[in-house]
Structure 1
């Protein structure tokens, strides 16, 4: 009985991810040899990034198993959003600030509404009620509130002063980025050292069964390096084709960033959260979903602001469109409400997904001209 249950299927998540690796060389051929249309290159590059991001995640987990809990947690926190960070850096260097900021917004709302929504739905279909640590979830919600403040304040400041004080807006964004980064570092101290027991859950009880014997360190590091290089190359293709693809399909850069890039950059992480929920490990699922949003808001966004002074045509601010601010605000409020009782069920997942779809529709119909004033 046990042997039959453990027999791997043909269409497992890992097999599908491995099959998608074929799009990496295909994208290279389309870009460098056949000079295909931007839309075709964009689609294939997106499909190529998904398995590469998964390989980065697996390599990071393997390294984390070897270096110990504290350093391992830091590695997972650092590389958790590496794929989308690489995409954002490439877009930043190209001066596509709309795309960069939209990918930040998309990652925040996507991880909370889409990832946690799918996790609650998938887990809820197997278990009537699933429980998680309220204290840890509440801290995550509070950090999300801080990220919301970090987006709202620059937007309101921009509405008050308009275009009369660009220097002040830039300084405000930079100093808010410093506050967010310091808060993120302190949150790592809280989660990895002083209060790490709140984040243990039950995810670690069968880690060895799930991953098997620890892989050689050199092999894992090599896989991480190769996957990172692959993501960087695919990101170059994706960003290079993004503008023309958006114009051809009638999309705005904001929609591409909020929906497409955010989903592609987090696809591997999404599947992990859903699998954890289906194993009734909601602590792990919610830590992945909310933790990834926190990383984006408190680490990735400030880091991109700092990097913009070095690699971008001009410094990037943290002024987001009103719809993006509204979306993050709704996302923060919903997450705080959902984490309050420490329980989830499938209908809660449906409601989160409904909000995500509604916001996605709004971003789809958002005219490009409506984003020009804010960005």
Structure 2
């Protein structure tokens, strides 16, 4: 624990942890101050993301980059899951679906592109395990196809049967969750050797003991969940005051703030020339959203939602998710990256964000 406290004292970013008790106290004292709570929750999530990054990197050094990426993706997606569950219980299905689509696109494009850019600024050319990356990209593409089918078929064939679309969504959700479990068994079990890092980690830096790292992960995860609850309770009102639609809030704002923990870990790993971990986090998180979190929300809507939720998205989200999945497959096929490749990927993500802001979908 001494090492942990020492890192907090020596890292100015972690001093922002003071905002965690502040935002929780303000939420109790002034729950109607939505704009203030929104700003405080963002300020609190940033240092929590940095703490999560620190603990995850320590765990990844003991488990390997594949498992480390899975751990970070799982804990990082907790924020999106909490936000989506809160919106699901309130019947805000437009926000839920926008957060699902946004998380897939943000992780596959923004996180991956920024990792390429930051890593390329440190090293001329970086390499990563293309077998593992192509595996994750393939899973993402297949999952995206399953997410798009209900909307695409209903639109192309003029199907006007909400019950049929809901039944198809339920069946696809069960299939995707089964595929996710089998994918974990394949990558972490039967073919684990194929997902080793492309190059050994050079150098040595002081990391947290595995016990301290796991305790830190558990505590920070709980705090992230609490702060995320405050964030989602205030983000809609704050977004409306700023003239932002639920689609933009869910697709861009929720995805960027909710993925802060994963971003911190992926960007830090890329600058340390551990691009395997960055790619594993970025693609693994997108796959987990598409194969597990999205389908899980469909199943949970039967229990906590006003009505069951389907996997039908608006046409713009369909196009963006499909482009993100194809781009991820093409970008990771060679197993090499440079900073300019990251710039190109970030340009695609910026195009999506500007389009949603200027031409919001009709919900």
Mean Cα deviation higher: 356-365 or 45-54: 45-54
Q: Residue in 2 aligned with 1:172?
A: 168
* Residue 154 in structure 1 maps to residue 150 in structure 2: yes
Shift of 1:61: 6.1
Question: Where do residues 28-47 of structure 1 align in structure 2 (5 Å cutoff)?
Answer: 28-47=24-43
Mean Cα deviation higher: 42-51 or 309-318: 42-51
Task: Give 2:47's match in structure 1, choosing from 38, 46, 51.
Answer: 51
Question: Where do residues 144-223 of structure 1 align in structure 2 (5 Å cutoff)?
Answer: 144-160=140-156, 164-201=160-197, 205=201, 209-216=205-212, 220-221=214-215, 223=216
Secondary structure at the residue paired with 1:81?
helix
Shift of 1:202: 5.7
Question: Where do residues 151-300 of structure 1 align in structure 2 (5 Å cutoff)?
Answer: 151-160=147-156, 164-201=160-197, 205=201, 209-216=205-212, 220-221=214-215, 223-300=216-293
Give unmatched runs, 5+ long, in structure 1: 1-7
Q: Distance in 2 between matches of 1:207 and 1:176?
A: 46
| Pairwise CA RMSD | 2.9
Q: Residue in 1 aligned with 2:334?
A: 341
Q: Calculate the TM-score normalised by the size of structure 1.
A: 0.85
Q: Distance in 1 between matches of 2:229 and 2:282?
A: 27
Task: Give 2:131's match in structure 1, choosing from 129, 135, 152.
Answer: 135
Q: Distance in 2 between matches of 1:34 and 1:329?
A: 42
Shift of 1:46: 2.5
Q: Distance in 1 between matches of 2:297 and 2:200?
A: 33
Mean Cα deviation higher: 335-344 or 18-27: 18-27
Q: Distance in 1 between matches of 2:203 and 2:298?
A: 37
Q: Distance in 2 between matches of 1:279 and 1:131?
A: 12
Do 1:111 and 1:290's aligned partners in 2 also have CA atoms closer than 8 Å?
yes
* Residue 321 in structure 1 maps to residue 314 in structure 2: yes
Do 1:123 and 1:130's aligned partners in 2 also have CA atoms closer than 8 Å?
yes
Q: Distance in 1 between matches of 2:186 and 2:328?
A: 20
Shift of 1:164: 2.9
Q: Residue in 1 aligned with 2:82?
A: 86
Task: Give 1:304's match in structure 2, choosing from 286, 297, 309.
Answer: 297
CA 1:287–1:42 in 2, change beyond 3 Å: closer, same or farther? same
Task: Give 1:107's match in structure 2, choosing from 95, 99, 103.
Answer: 103
The alignment covers a number of residue pairs equal to 358
